[in-house]
Amino acid sequence: MLKGINLVYGYGNTTLFEGINIEVQPGKFTVILGPNGAGKTTLLKILAGFLKPREGTVEINDQEIFKLPAKKRARMLAYVPQEPETLRDYSVWDTVMMGRYPYQGFLGLETKKDFQGVKKAIETVGLAGYEERTLLSLSGGERQRVYLARALAQEADYILLDEPTNHLDLFYQVKILSLLKDLAAQGKGILAVLHDLNLASFFADRLYLFSEGDVITGAAGEVLTFENIYKAYKEPALVVNHPVLGIPQVLPLIINKSSGGKTRVHIIGGGGMASGIMLRESQQGAKISAGVLNKSDSDWQTAKALGAEVVEEEPFSPISQESYRRLLEVLKKADKIVVAPVPIGPGNLQNIEALLEVEPKKIFIVKPEEMEKRDYSGGRATYIVNSLIKAGAQKYPEA
């Protein structure tokens, strides 16, 4: 196991992070995420033994990394930088051969094993035929694969990589991350700094998300939540569960937030049924509100991400008197109220009952003809909706 224990670091008088603990397990693919300048590269360099922390220590297989002789350390741990500070124009072959240095004696004589290791590493990253090319003649993505090949040739137990995909096209990103995942499956401990939350969600066994000088850790489903992402990046994003893979996928908001609009649209939803409507109304310039929604519900996340006013309750809690009072206030302010095609159980029944207190003409119901099918309130919701329609409520137009 590679462990960073109670790490404290800062440059000059500043403190970048304090008391960080991180574990890289053999057989696992671990990923560090976080905003620009959070300290990801710094942490990686500390774990690789290149920077000494102000406090805390790094242990590799129970030995303190800073006490290990360089060659021994290099047999245990390989580091793949983003781009080395000074780039000498070595050939691809010679660069990858540098990975064999920890196995070579004083005279640096290359053995058959070194030769085979380099050849195999170059093939693995898809650069066979490039052996004689020099680094400066390569594209950024090809160069990145050379550094990865050098780390593979090093045959270390742990591979630490700083943004190994940042120059790669989407398909090479997936290829390289799949390769790292395979290496983890073969028993290596892989730690990579990534920026792409969705690829991290797919590939990582464990995530560390830098957030306000600390790290949030766990599996993708635990770390990549609306709240954690907002806390770390100070930006709202939609987090949706991938329908097939069942992992979180993060969509940055590249649409208008709802703050500027004049028309107030309130949306009653839940369970993701209202997210599309919220996005549509928001894009059309409405100032939206939503609720009552349970916190962390996917519609709640969307509403929050869009900057909507949300009447909210704790997860799985019924609507309290206070929330109901707030709901009525928000409904009265709204110019338009949209009822999404949600199943109506006891919680949402109160949302529907509240509609009896507002002007029916401003109510729009999605697929009212299917109301009965999703009514789990013993017919009460259908009765209310039908009477609202009689009094002037309308069908919400399909997108």
Ligand X SMILES: Nc1ncnc2c1ncn2[C@@H]1O[C@H](COP(=O)(O)OP(=O)(O)OP(=O)(O)O)[C@@H](O)[C@H]1O
Q: In angstroms, give the least distance from the CB of 59 to ligand X.
A: 21
Between residues 43 and 303, which has the closer beta carbon with respect to ligand X? 43
Structure tokens at 383: 């009765």
| C-alpha to C-alpha distance for 100 and 90, rounded to whole angstroms | 15
For residues 74 to 113, the per-residue mask of contacts with ligand X, x marking binding by CB under 6 A and - elsewhere, is: ----------------------------------------
- Interaction between residue 166 and ligand X (CB under 6 A): no
Between residues 38 and 77, which has the closer beta carbon with respect to ligand X? 38
Q: In angstroms, give the least distance from the CB of 106 to ligand X.
A: 33
- CA torsion sign for 315, 316, 321, 323 is positive
- Per-residue DSSP letter, 361: G
Give the DSSP per-residue string, 288-303.
Answer: EEEEEEETT-HHHHHH
**Strands in 61-125 per DSSP E:** 63-64, 77-80
- Interaction between residue 315 and ligand X (CB under 6 A): no
Between residues 40 and 150, which has the closer beta carbon with respect to ligand X? 40
For residues 34 to 73, the per-residue mask of contacts with ligand X, x marking binding by CB under 6 A and - elsewhere, is: x-xxxxxxx-------------------------------
Of 291, 280, 362, nearest in space to 323 by CA: 291
| C-alpha to C-alpha distance for 356 and 69, rounded to whole angstroms | 77
- Interaction between residue 11 and ligand X (CB under 6 A): yes
8 Å CB contact between 135 and 125: no
Report residue 370: phi and psi, to 5°.
-100, 10
Of 349, 318, 352, 322, nearest in space to 337 by CA: 352
Residues in binding contact with ligand X, number by CB under 6 A: 10
Between residues 43 and 118, which has the closer beta carbon with respect to ligand X? 43
| C-alpha to C-alpha distance for 287 and 263, rounded to whole angstroms | 6
Q: In angstroms, give the least distance from the CB of 33 to ligand X.
A: 9
Point out which span in 31-39, 56-64, 73-81, 123-131 binds ligand X (CB under 6 A): 31-39
Q: In angstroms, give the least distance from the CB of 70 to ligand X.
A: 21
Between residues 35 and 272, which has the closer beta carbon with respect to ligand X? 35
Q: In angstroms, give the least distance from the CB of 257 to ligand X.
A: 25
- Site for ligand X, rule CB under 6 A: 11, 16, 34, 36-42
